Structure 1
């Protein structure tokens, strides 16, 4: 996000809707942190058995949807710049 200049600190306060844009950019970081935490708790990494369950299909869809939306946004931003 720093390379793409998408950190909240890089948005000028004078920009239209600066507070909203900064909040959205901060939330993008929260998405990646949340997905990482879900993987740590429920994923098969870190030596966990594949039989561990806990999340439902709807949780997986939320994780995939959030990750893919973020990936598309970052890729589009990279291409534009």
Structure 2
């Protein structure tokens, strides 16, 4: 349940920022697409960082990793979340893995929100 909620937090954050900025997005947009669109709107893509900026390579790499976070949370939710029926006897993640997903998603949401609307 925590993993699904973490994914929904990022989706809600992105949709709120995009809506408040008047950016049209597909109702069927998945979380990686929403994050990518939001990052572009907020000038948070690697291309937005000038090469001359201090630690530009590091900042660009971190911004690129935003996509990996969202893809990972979405994949965990698909495999272990409550959104899909499970066969009896299927095992879930350990609490530490759910905490990792929640922590990564909440860090991303705060980062976007602080830059947002």
The two structures have a TM-score, normalised by structure 1, of: 0.85
Secondary structure of 1:2's match? helix
Structure 2 Cα separation of the partners of residues 27 and 50 of structure 1: 35
Structure 2 Cα separation of the partners of residues 61 and 43 of structure 1: 13
Aligned residues: 79
Task: After TM superposition, give the deviation of residue 19 of structure 1 in Å.
Answer: 0.1
Q: Tell me, which stretches of 5 or more residues in structure 1 are unaligned?
A: none
Structure 1 Cα separation of the partners of residues 103 and 88 of structure 2: 23
Secondary structure of 2:42's match? coil
Structure 2 matches for 1:1-81, cutoff 5 A?
Answer: 1-48=39-86, 52-78=90-116
Q: Structure 1 pair 47/11, CA: closer, same or farther in 2 (3 Å)?
A: same
If asked which structure has higher relative contact order (CA below 8 Å, sep 6+), I would say: 2
Task: After TM superposition, give the deviation of residue 46 of structure 1 in Å.
Answer: 3.6
Task: After TM superposition, give the deviation of residue 25 of structure 1 in Å.
Answer: 0.3
RMSD of aligned Cα (Å)? 1.7
Task: After TM superposition, give the deviation of residue 14 of structure 1 in Å.
Answer: 1.0
The two structures have a TM-score, normalised by structure 2, of: 0.61
